[in-house]
Amino acid sequence: MTFQEGETVYLEDSNGKRTFLKVMYGMVKVPSLGAIDGSRLRDLDDGDQFTVVGREFTVFRPGALELMESLDRGAQIISPKDAATILMHCDVKCGDRVIEVGAGSGGLTTALLHAVAPNGCVRTLEMREDYAQRVLKNVSRTGLDAYWSYSIGDAREMDPGIDWQADVLTMDMPDPWLALPNLDPHLRAGGRLCAYVPNMNQVESTVVALRESGYADVRALENIQRFLEVHPGGVRPSFDTLGHTGYLVFARKRASRKG
Ligand SMILES: C[S@@+](CC[C@H](N)C(=O)[O-])C[C@H]1O[C@@H](n2cnc3c(N)ncnc32)[C@H](O)[C@@H]1O
């Protein structure tokens, strides 16, 4: 399908530099490129070539990866490698309802929304209104804001303000084990949980709390990802390889539990 008015696309130059823009069938101001005639995009589709004042670009629709990489950042975002692992281990899919603790910059929110839309939703619990506002701007830019809502408060004690039970609960906060008693009733039986924490002692406290609460399939892992520099006759790990990001703890809720 050709590009529709209102959708977000990006222009990629021959060096891989990306410029994002919202499609408008009129004159559009594009940072560092000036004004371009957006109606030229009406006949183009994903991966087509586009010339602006003699410069060649490829126009792409962004996926979750490019949307995450191009967010306006304040707090550190969950990296795409960790977001991808969360989506798989929590089985996040179209139609799911997710409670997320910790808006941050909206990195994980973006990945979750991309997976659950257009039939599911994400409710984010966040302490700071300014962070939630940044995420609102970020998710509006991606066109996924219709599936997102947030509530301001402390996840350890707040009412999430929902009348449904979640399929998935994610917690990117320093002390997820303290929010568990408050949020557990909002996760459906069989639902999946992920806590993302930077330190091993936080992993221990989270795992202990989950085991004591009778959760099943409690497991913790770290993702190590190495990019490769590939040149003819010389292939080696990139010097820019991402080091430690965070630890992931996963678990699944049982319907009936001891205690
Ligand atoms: C590291 S950031 C989250 C980053 C986010 N996952 C992303 O990918 O952009 C942690 C967030 O959790 C919020 N937070 C920390 N403790 C909280 C609590 N008890 N209740 C609600 N939000 C909390 C912080 O204000 C911050 O926005």
* Per-residue pLDDT tens digits for 68-113: 999 988 878 999 999 999 999 999 999 999 999 999 999 999 999 9
Please choose from 69, 78, 173, 247 the residue to mutate so as to test ligand 1's pocket, defined by most ligand atoms within 8 A of CB. Answer: 173
Give yes or no for a contact between 201 and 207, defined as CB atoms under 8 angstroms apart: no
- Which atom of ligand 1 lies nearest, measured to the CA of 131? 27
**How close is the Cα of 101 to the center of ligand 1, in Å?**
6
Q: What is the arithmetic mean of pLDDT over 1-13?
A: 92
* Per-residue pLDDT tens digits for 194-219: 999 999 999 999 999 999 999 999 99
pLDDT at 241 over 90: no
By alpha-carbon position, which residue is closest to atom 15 of ligand 1? Answer: 173
By alpha-carbon position, which residue is closest to atom 2 of ligand 1? Answer: 104
Place of tokens 């992931």: 248
**How close is the Cα of 249 to the center of ligand 1, in Å?**
16
Neighbours of 218 (CB within 10 A): 18
**How close is the Cα of 232 to the center of ligand 1, in Å?**
44
What's the confidence (pLDDT) of residue 258? 59
d(CA 14, CA 85): 31
Pairing between β-strand 216-222 and β-strand 247-252 as defined by DSSP bridges? antiparallel
Reported confidence tier of residue 10, pLDDT bands at 50, 70, 90: very high
Place of tokens 């996040």: 92
- Range scoring the smallest mean pLDDT among 8-17, 28-37, 137-146: 28-37
By alpha-carbon position, which residue is closest to atom 24 of ligand 1? Answer: 102
Which two structure tokens, joined as six digits, stand for 225? 């990802």
Rounded alpha-carbon distances, angstroms, from residue 219 to 175, 202, 207, 232, 236: 17, 13, 8, 41, 32
Task: Give me the percent of the chain exceeding a pLDDT of 70.
Answer: 98
d(CA 83, CA 223): 10
Average pLDDT, the chain: 94
What's the confidence (pLDDT) of residue 198? 96
Rounded alpha-carbon distances, angstroms, from residue 168 to 60, 122, 139, 143, 179: 31, 9, 20, 22, 15
Which residues lie with the beta carbon below 6 Å from any ligand 1 atom? 75-78, 101-108, 125-128, 131, 154-156, 172-174
Reported confidence tier of residue 239, pLDDT bands at 50, 70, 90: confident
d(CA 172, CA 34): 39
Give yes or no for a contact between 199 and 176, defined as CB atoms under 8 angstroms apart: no
d(CA 66, CA 83): 13
**How close is the Cα of 105 to the center of ligand 1, in Å?**
9
pLDDT at 130 over 90: yes
Q: Domains in the chain, ordered, with CATH?
A: 8-60 (3.10.330.20), 65-252 (3.40.50.150)
**How close is the Cα of 145 to the center of ligand 1, in Å?**
19
Reported confidence tier of residue 128, pLDDT bands at 50, 70, 90: very high
d(CA 25, CA 77): 33
- Which atom of ligand 1 lies nearest, measured to the CA of 71? 9
* Per-residue pLDDT tens digits for 155-186: 999 999 999 999 999 999 999 999 999 999 99
CB burial readout 196-212, b (16+ within 10 A) else e: bbeeeebbebbbebbee
Rounded to two decimals, the pTM is: 0.93
